[in-house]
Structure 1
């Protein structure tokens, strides 16, 4: 299992988290509140998000590095779509050692 984390500065983290979770709820297993979201992504990957007043924290877990890289792009592209007024969001992915 490999993982990565991004701390994304934005005042609209809760809005983006909820929009993304609602969007993916049609196809994927999703749980969310205004402050936290959890999405079971394809191929066994998992995205977890936590929103605060000043940021959105995103963590992705995947079975291997290739899947992790693919899911980073999927999550970032979708969040940028919802954050079109301030996109691209500054995803500074920090892969776990």
Structure 2
């Protein structure tokens, strides 16, 4: 299954993780994981939000490249909109095939 990571530089990672989880939690299953992280489940695609000291780590695992691209776009655009004042930028690594 293809996967991809983004490391979004911010000193407010826990707040952004919670905001994304709350926003998407109205429509999809969201589960809180240890250390303040969240797992979002978009059909067969998992998104893990892991807040760290100086960045938010986002890991997307999808059944295929098309689903991976779609969910990366959705999650990335929402986070950039939420973090507009902080000028957040989401840059994804190249997808890895597991």
TM-score, reference length from structure 2: 0.88
Deviations 1:16-57 (A, max 9, x none): 10001011111110012672110001x311100110120000
**After TM superposition, where is structure 1 displaced by more than 3 Å over at least 4 residues in a row?**
none
Match of 1:80 in 2: 80
Match of 1:47 in 2: 47
Structure 1 residue 90, shift from structure 2 partner: 3.7
Match of 1:92 in 2: 92
Aligned length: 96
In structure 2, the CA distance between the partners of 1:94 and 1:6, relative to structure 1 (3 Å rule), is farther
Q: CA RMSD in A?
A: 1.6
Structure 1 residue 83, shift from structure 2 partner: 0.7
| Structure 1: gaps spanning 5 or more residues | none
Q: Give the 3-state SS of the residue equivalent to 1:63 in structure 2.
A: coil
Structure 1 residue 84, shift from structure 2 partner: 1.4
Match of 1:66 in 2: 66
TM-score, reference length from structure 1: 0.88
| Structure 2: gaps spanning 5 or more residues | none
Match of 1:18 in 2: 18
